[in-house]
Copies of this chain bind each other. A is one copy, B any other.
Amino acid sequence: MKRGTRAVVLLSGGLDSATVLAIAARDGHECYALSFQYGQRHVIELNAARRVAEAAAVQEHRIFPIELSVFGGSALTDSSIEIPQRSTHGIPVTYVPARNTVFLAVALGWAEVIGARDIYIGVNAVDYSGYPDCRPEFIAAFETMANLGTKAGVEGDPMRIRTPLIKLSKAHIIRQGLKLGVDYSLTISCYAADGEGHACGNCDSCRLRAKGFAEAKMADPTCYTHDE
């Protein structure tokens, strides 16, 4: 890859996407970070995304408003659905219908306009095995579709969807991020953080994160509600 080529990096403000951003920069890209205000309950994540983007000195950080919450159908956007405190089998209620498809589609539009050919996304098929849109076969199909549906693809200068975390354990992700200098105290992973950004410590996402730090034998800089 030519150093300095542009990449769009999906940045949620969580641990995974902060790591992905560091990887995209390490790969030599000029990074264009893209976050979404999609009616998520955990809007506190967007502040984390801003901090992470700033710390990584990205070329540009856009927060794109898209009200997926108007459709409902997920515990992450619909306050009438309770966020589960333990893992369930099958597709969890925190799945947001077609979320990654929508996010990648918008990223694709931006990438085409700015001449980026790489789109980085922090999906993980190990921890999020219940989410259909975190699987390698979905990502491969999206890339195929993207190259049939865009000027770039048709003109023989294809788009690539980069998923450097897709097969990594949380511990592996954390070790890699720390090696690249990611400051995980800037990130937040909780589905139900309070207004001041304290993590609940109980939701799926908090438990995955805590387990990852434990397995990586590293201190978790997350501030939990019960730390107060």
Contact = CB atoms under 8 A, between A and B. Distances in A.
Interface of A: 62, 64-68, 70-73, 91, 95-102, 104-106, 108-110, 112-114, 132-133, 135, 137-138, 141-142, 144-146, 148-151, 153-155
Main secondary structure of the interface of A (DSSP, over half): helix
Which of A68, A73, A105 gathers most chain B CB within 10 Å? A105
A145 B148 contact: no
Q: Nearest 3 A-B pairs (CB), nearest first? A: A98-B109, A73-B113, A97-B112
A132 B144 contact: no
29 contacts: A64-B67, A65-B67, A71-B109, A71-B114, A73-B109, A91-B154, A91-B155, A95-B151, A97-B108, A97-B109, A97-B151, A98-B108, A98-B109, A98-B112, A98-B146, A100-B149, A101-B105, A101-B146, A102-B102, A132-B151, A132-B153, A137-B148, A138-B149, A141-B141, A141-B144, A141-B148, A141-B149, A144-B144, A145-B145
Copies in the complex: 2
A64 B110 CA distance: 19
A159 to B, nearest CB: 10
A91 to B, nearest CB: 5
B141 A71 contact: no
B101 A149 contact: yes
Nearest to A98: B109
Contacts of A110: 71, 97
B73 A112 contact: yes
A145 B138 contact: yes
B105 A109 contact: no
A105 to B, nearest CB: 4
Which of A91, A101, A153 gathers most chain B CB within 10 Å? A101
A61 to B, nearest CB: 13
